[in-house]
Structure 1
Amino acid sequence: MLSEKHIGFIGAGNMAEALIRGLVKPSGVVPQAQIAASDTSNNRLTLIGDTYNIRTYQENKAVIESSEVIILAVKPQVIHAVLQEIAASVDETKLVISIAAGVKIERIQQILPTARVVRTMPNIAALVHAAMTAISAGARATQEDMETASDIFNAVGESVIVEEKLMDAVTGLSGSGPSYIFHIINALADAGVKVGFSREIALKLARQTVFGSAKMAIETNEHPMKLRDMVTSPGGTSITGVYMLERDGVTAALINAVEAATRRSQELGG
């Protein structure tokens, strides 16, 4: 059970904080005494420690020694140095979960050969407990390890298990996806201003419309085209707007955006 695990975070940035908050507040999935974090910033450690009442350390080794589950929450450009530093302290008893974008399991396993490794790709909505996270298993990871990883990320949203070869596509769709949606919200607000609303009211209308539509799609589990048909009455305003979206290539633009972001993720990952 997750509530019995000791979880350590190497890196205490925004994503680590979102996960810590999800684990300890408000549900109390994991007791605060069982969570530890390390970071290069003393200010960051003080903030995390005081806010969530967890143990903090300047040394990564102290986190590893006190934890069964290690979450690598560091930037991809420093992960090699971090892995080299902790290698001597990590053995087959440790589950290592990476959230470093673009870093393949093989690269981690080369430096931590006996560890059980799981790779994940959460998105920024973890900050509001509405993340979508994809999870991939390394060769040594067990079914229990995958359940542990899923439970951790379900504390800040939803998760899905995918093959690692699809992680770049995950980056293109759900990893980068919030940026597309923010762009759409802004475009809808611009349209609202164009037809006469103040910016404040236009943004409120756009934000709540996107939120409500997503909530309806999730809670009904209906195909989005069926939901769209519920709104688009014959000869009405909605079908007129949908026609313009199709005429101007919005569907193709979104597909192209996901494909381009996927390719870029592949390039960055080498």
Structure 2
Amino acid sequence: MNESTIAFIGAGNMASSIIGGLINNGWPTYQLIATARTEETLSDIREKFNIETTVDNHQAVGKADVIMLCVKPQVMKEVLTDLSSSIKPNALIISVAAGITMESLQKWGGEHLSIVRSMPNTPSLLQCGASGLYANNNVSNDHKKLTDDIFNAIGIAKWVDQESLIDAVIAVSGSGPAYYFLLMEIMEQVGSRLGLDNETSRQLTLQTALGAARMATESSVDAAELRRRITSPKGTTEQAIKTFQEQGLPELVEKAMNAAVDRSIELAEALKD
């Protein structure tokens, strides 16, 4: 069992999902502490997880081996600058704030800090997330193992060796759930227009999405091969797939994901000090 104490600075949805995942995977509640600006937020966390809470960030950080920075990007500079003097030597700092670069984190907290930038996504709330991770040169192998333990508790985690690839992670898995939600939304609507009642169309769409995802994750072959196996020559599925391809769906998806990358770069630039 890991003996590290983790302080969550900020107790919103992402912090709550990580806390829940850790507890579900056997992390002792007495090694978790959460902070927030209001007692109302903290009372919800205490009631849900039975962990220590405080409105004093310095108190939490002083106890912590790992500091999860779960605050909004707009207040990260203020929070990290204020906390820099309270961080224990060799503590691991993990930022879950989108758009805050390693350069900024090191400038506000200190060049000596061991920092990981993470990019989890919203299915982490169900312990079914996909997270991208990038470490600075101060992060040890032990720190990386500890980071893996944390993020594997809420899904899967993949390391990238260039910080710029965090933008690609955002385009694939950070924003990705919304792409699938949009397709499901459209399929539900079209199913209704084809004559199904709304609830039947909804349930068939959602179960189909769930089944396809399970087949893809549990199969030994890739998504392209799975698609080929259910696309019979001259059948109904082939006609639908041909329409997608002829109308430029692959190019449209690539354009959309590149737009996500471009916007991520713009936001990071705007948040730099």
TM-score (norm: length of structure 1)? 0.96
Match runs of 1:166-205 below 5 Å = 166-205=165-204
| Equivalent residue, structure 2, for 1:126 | 124
CA distance in 2, matches of 1:263, 1:10: 29
Match runs of 1:153-172 below 5 Å = 153-162=151-160, 163-172=162-171
Residue among 74, 90, 108 paired with 1:111? 108
Match runs of 1:46-125 below 5 Å = 46-113=43-110, 114-125=112-123
Secondary structure of 2:53's partner?
strand
The answer on whether the counterparts of 1:11 and 1:72 sit within 8 Å (CA) in structure 2 is yes
Corresponding residue pairs, total? 267
| Equivalent residue, structure 1, for 2:7 | 8
Instruction: Return the letter of the residue paired with 1:127.
Output: L
Instruction: Return the letter of the residue paired with 2:115.
Output: V
CA distance in 2, matches of 1:234, 1:145: 52
Measured against aligned partners, the alpha-carbon deviations of 1:15-56 in whole angstroms (never above 9, x if no partner) come to 00000000112x32x100000000012111000011101000
Instruction: Return the letter of the residue paired with 2:200.
Output: I
Report the Cα offset of residue 111 of structure 1: 2.3
| Equivalent residue, structure 2, for 1:21 | 20
Report the Cα offset of residue 91 of structure 1: 4.2
| Equivalent residue, structure 1, for 2:254 | 255
The answer on whether the counterparts of 2:62 and 2:88 sit within 8 Å (CA) in structure 1 is no
Greater mean alpha carbon deviation, residues 68-77 or residues 250-259: 250-259
Measured against aligned partners, the alpha-carbon deviations of 1:197-225 in whole angstroms (never above 9, x if no partner) come to 11111111111111111111111141111
Report the Cα offset of residue 112 of structure 1: 2.0
The answer on whether the counterparts of 2:93 and 2:113 sit within 8 Å (CA) in structure 1 is yes
RMSD (CA atoms): 1.1
Which runs of no fewer than 5 residues in structure 2 stay unpaired?
none
Greater mean alpha carbon deviation, residues 211-220 or residues 107-116: 107-116
TM-score (norm: length of structure 2)? 0.95
Instruction: Return the letter of the residue paired with 1:185.
Output: M
Measured against aligned partners, the alpha-carbon deviations of 1:102-160 in whole angstroms (never above 9, x if no partner) come to 11112111122222101100001111111110000112001111111111111011110
CA distance in 1, matches of 2:89, 2:219: 43
Residue among 143, 146, 149 paired with 1:145? 143
Instruction: Return the letter of the residue paired with 1:145.
Output: H
CA distance in 1, matches of 2:51, 2:248: 50
Secondary structure of 1:269's partner?
helix
Measured against aligned partners, the alpha-carbon deviations of 1:205-251 in whole angstroms (never above 9, x if no partner) come to 11111111111111114111110111011111111110111122222
Secondary structure of 2:68's partner?
strand
Instruction: Return the letter of the residue paired with 1:228.
Output: R
Instruction: Return the letter of the residue paired with 1:210.
Output: A
The answer on whether the counterparts of 2:17 and 2:124 sit within 8 Å (CA) in structure 1 is yes
Instruction: Return the letter of the residue paired with 2:38.
Output: S
> Identity rate of aligned residues, in percent?
36
